[in-house]
Structures are given as structure tokens and as C-alpha cells.
Amino acid sequence: MATTPIRQAESESESESQSQSQSESKSQRDGTGADADAAAGAGAAAQAAPAAHGGRSVLRDVAFLRLWSGTTASGLATWALPFVLGLAVLDHTIGAATLGLLLAARTAGFLVAVAVGGVLADRYSRRGVVLWAGLAAAAATPLLALGLGRSLPLMLAAAAVAGGGQGACRPAFQALTAEVVDEDRRQTANAAMTLSVRATSLTGPSLTALLAFVLDTWALLLGIGVLWLVAALVPGAGGAGAATTAEAAGTANGAVTGNGAVTGNGAVTGNGAVTGNGAVTGNRPSFFAEFAEGLREARRHPWFLAGLGALTVVISTGYSATGVALPLVSRDKYDTGVVLAAAMTAYTLGALGGAVVVARWRPRAQGWAALAGLGLYGFAPLSLLLPVHWVFVVAAYAVAGIGIELFNVPWFTATQREVAPDKLARVSSLDFMLSYGLAPAGLALIAPAIEHFGARPVLAVCAALCFAAPAVAALVPSARGFSREGAGRGTPRESAHA
């Protein structure tokens, strides 16, 4: 999630009839209309699915391993592009100003595509969105290499398309995880996803630096294109599409789905609805109408809005402040660049440890525990503010890394569990839009603030916000378990881990 290097089976299966009953009951409590009924029916089907796996670990599931390989390849390609472009600056192929423009174009492409991708992934096949987004990014990287040092417009267009491929993939991958992995194993699956991200961010720089001795920048960019091909082609198909699943569930229990009504023969009619044979009839809502549906779904979950607000504050203030201040403090206060390298390495190692812990840890108040983990990031700017030995700075970054994964993995898992399946990609896109979108703004504002007011007051404010924002989010009643039912669905049921 987010611009930080962040963001990812506890029970025996309940019977299908019990899951159906619970889902219908939740639908009646949560509200009226088609959306609640559709979510209930789809939730029942999803909860019934684990029985087919017989308690098998998600790490032995071929479908998940294919998805994990694709997301790992996309994450590595996403991380590698700015690093390789930085090498192009070092060998004077492009200038620093051009690098800034290329990264800005990639960010712009990401922000546009993450919104569009969320709608498309809910409207069509999530697997199809991953395929075409990955192919677009794969095609853009050779064009970027072709224009390197020759054509700025071509480089900017290619960088924007590459960012667009990344943006469209993100919500689709999140929703596809919910299709491929049953609910009881998703926390383990999300932890495995984030472990791969951390591992590549830890080993990637040294690997790329070694490759740079034998390959030029053009060849390295082509390698990034190959990674995008892996991301596009390796993941397998998920379960039933989001809309189809919800509509089929509504047909089974007689609920109204979409804007249409269920007829006697099980066909669904109305705008954008699905008939009995799966054909789409009528006119689909506009892109903006479907995006607005995602916003309405997000508003149905107060814990999601509160958690996203806290995450956005932490990233746009705490992470941005330390991103600017850490190099300055390392140079001016400790007179060495070792502190910078050690702190960032400790952050990544801490995140790896946090992902391992949260893969199996199921606190009863999981939402509160996750928000407490997010608040641990406040120790990073605090350590830069206080007159402490540099060892404490490194330790603070390790704690921040642990905390961010204690938040990320339950956050992704709760979103996949609680949000209506046919709106999951759109809600996930809001997460990435705010976290990715506001982080550059934070970086742009923090630097002049430090220059004008000095590092100490800026770091003090940022540390206070990092501690306060998760605490305020925890006051929302449903934040206790990251569930509209309070802690109920966010707590583990009594059984063994997968």
C-alpha cells in the first residue's frame, strides 16, 4: 500500500447452510436493497469454499502461488524502475530534472489508472485487468528504453503508461486474492505477499547494482519489461467474477441484484444485469456512477474510513518527514551516511519480522492491534528529533517496520472480508489513491517546511500526528475488529491455524 515500502487458517469451515444464514442475517442488519443482499449471498458462497481445501496451507496452493509470483514480479518491476532510471542519471544518459519528470509522469499515470482499474476490475474479470495492465506496462518499458536520452516526450508517455499498468494492477490483485484464497487463509496469504515485497526491496538494490556491471541501462529496462510479462501471464484465473458472484447469489436467495429484479426462471434483468445464461443485458452505469458506488460502499464501513484516514496521515507526514529529514540528520547530526543505510535496512528487516508475526497472530481486538502497530511509526520521526545515540534511531526504524506490517496485513484481510465482493476493487482503489496520491504532496510540502521552520518543530508535529491519528481512528466503534459488527468477525474462531 502506499508509497512506503509497505503494504500485506484459523478455523474449521462452517457448513454452507450456516454461512448462508449468517450472511442473510448480516444483510438484514446492514441495510436494505440490492447491494446488501448480493454481498450476503456472495459472502455465504465464499465462506463455504474453505471446506474444499481440507485445511491445506495456502503456501501449497498452486493457484495462490501463481498469484503470488505475479504480484512479486509486479512489485519488483515497480521498485526497479526508479532505481534503474537513477543509474541512467549516474551515467549521464539523462539529467536529474528529467528523472523528476519521468517519476512524476509515472505517478500521474498510476493515479489515473488506479481509479479506472478499480471500476474495470469490478465490472469485468479481475484476471483480465491484470493481464492487460501488465502487458501495457511490459510494452511501455522498451519504449522508455528507446527514448532514453533521445526523446523526452516518448519517455514521458512510456513512463505514464508504465505507471498506469502498475495502478490498474493494484486493486485487481487485491480483489483477485479474495477470489483465489478463501477467507480463513487470507491473512496468511497477505502476509506472504508482503514478505515478497520486503525481500525484493532488501535484496533488489544489490542485485541491480551487480547487474549494472554487466548490463547497460537499456538492457535493465528490458528486464523490467520481462518482469511485467511475468506479472501479466503467470497468475491463473480467479473464481467467479465479482458481479457474477453477487448476482448469482442474489438469484439463489431471491434477492434483488444490481438495478434489476430476479424473475421466476432465475434470470436477472435491468441495467448492467446478468441473465440466466450469463449474458449481459441492458445499459451499464457510467464509469462515474460505478465509481460512486465504490465510494458509497466505503462509507458503509466506518472502520475503513477511519483506518484509511489514519494511514494517509502517517504516510503523508511521518514517512514524508523522515524521508526528507533522515538523510539530513544522518549527515549533519551523526556525520556519516551509515545511519541512513542502517535505518532503512532496519525498517525493511522489521517489516519482514512483522509480516512473519502477523501471518499467524490473531489478537481478539485485531483492528485496535493493527492501529497500534500503525502508530509505532511515530517513533521514527521522534528518534530523529531527540538527542540520542544513532543506535536508537536504527531501533526506532525497526520498530516502525514491524508496526507497519502489523497494520497492513490485517487491513488488507479485513477489506477483502468485509467489503461487498462486487465492489472490492473499487474500494481498494480508494486506499491506493489516497496513500500513493498524497505521499508526493507530503514530500513536496515537508521539504520547504523543514527549510523554513527547521527540522525539530516539523519532526515534532509529524511524530505527534503519527501517534494521534491511529488513536483517533481507534475511537470509531467498528475499528475494534475492523468489522461493521465490531470485534466479532475480526477475532479468530477457536481452531488451529492453517
The 10s digit of each residue's pLDDT in 416-446 is 889 888 888 888 888 888 877 777 777 777 8
Distance CA 192, CA 358 (A): 10
Question: For residue 498, what pLDDT is reported?
Answer: 33
Q: How many residues does the chain have?
A: 498
Residue 487 CA to its chain's centroid (Å): 23
Q: What is the dihedral of CA 127, 421, 64, 135, to 10 degrees?
A: 20
Q: How confident is the model at residue 135 (pLDDT cuts 50, 70, 90)?
A: very high
pLDDT for res 272: 44
Kindly give the pairing relationship between strand 280-281 and strand 273-274: antiparallel
| Percent of the chain residues topping a pLDDT of 90 | 19
The dihedrals phi and psi of 268, each to the nearest 5 degrees, come to: -110, 130
| CA distance linking residue 406 with residue 199, whole number of Å | 17
Mean local confidence (pLDDT), 304-311: 92
pLDDT attached to residue 470? 95
Q: Band the pLDDT of 396: cuts 50, 70, 90.
A: very high
pLDDT at 50 over 70: no
**Cα–Cα distance list, 171 to 35, 38, 251 (Å):** 20, 20, 27
pLDDT at 282: 52
Interacting residues of 93 by C-beta distance below 8 A, sequence separation 6+: 148, 149, 217
The better pLDDT of the pair 372, 206 is held by 372
Measure the CA–CA gap between 146 and 221, rounded to whole angstroms.
10
| CA 492 distance to own-chain centroid | 23
Which residues fall within 8 angstroms of residue 369, CB to CB, at 6 or more apart? 363, 406, 410
pLDDT at 124 over 50: yes
Q: What is the pLDDT of residue 41?
A: 39
Nearest CA-CA partner of 394 in 314, 315, 334: 334
More confident residue, 211 or 414: 414
Residue 447 in this model has a pLDDT that exceeds 70: yes
Q: What is the pLDDT of residues 339-350, one digit of tens each?
A: 888 888 889 899
Q: Name the residue with cell 535484496.
A: 203
Q: What is the pLDDT of residue 28?
A: 40
CB contact at 8 A, 350 and 398:
yes
In tens, the pLDDT along 460-489 reads 999 999 999 999 999 998 999 888 764 444
pLDDT for position 56:
66
Does the pLDDT at position 150 exceed 50? Answer: yes
The second-level CATH assignment, the architecture, of 294-480 is Up-down Bundle (1.20)
- Provide Rg for the chain, Cα atoms: 23
Q: For 167-176, what is each residue's pLDDT tens digit? A: 888 888 888 8
Residue 123: its pLDDT value, please? 86
Q: How much of the chain, in percent, has pLDDT values that exceed 70?
A: 76
Compute how many other C-beta atoms are within 10 angstroms of the C-beta atom of residue 173. Answer: 25
Could you tell me which residues come within 8 angstroms of residue 469 by beta carbon, excluding any fewer than 6 positions away? 309, 310, 313, 314, 375
d(CA 189, CA 358): 11
Instruction: Kindly state the average pLDDT of the residues 228-255.
Output: 59
Task: Give the integer Cα–Cα distance in Å for 82 and 266.
Answer: 52
- Average pLDDT value for the chain: 76
For the range 85-91, what are the long-range contacts, defined as Cβ-Cβ under 8 Å and sequence gap of 24 or more? 87/208, 87/212, 87/217, 87/220, 88/148, 88/149, 88/217, 91/217
pLDDT of residue 377: 94
Reading the block at residue 100, the C-alpha cell is 523528476
> What's the maximum distance between 2 C-alpha atoms anywhere in the chain?
77
Which is more confidently placed, 183 or 442? 183
Q: Which of 236, 239, 259, 240 is nearest to 248 (CA)?
A: 240
Question: Which pLDDT belongs to residue 154?
Answer: 92
User: How high is the pLDDT of residue 360?
Assistant: 81
Choose between 37 and 352: higher pLDDT. Answer: 352
User: 281: which strand partners?
Assistant: 273
Higher pLDDT, 5 or 154: 154
What pLDDT digit, counting tens, does each position of 351-370 carry? Answer: 888 888 888 888 888 899 99
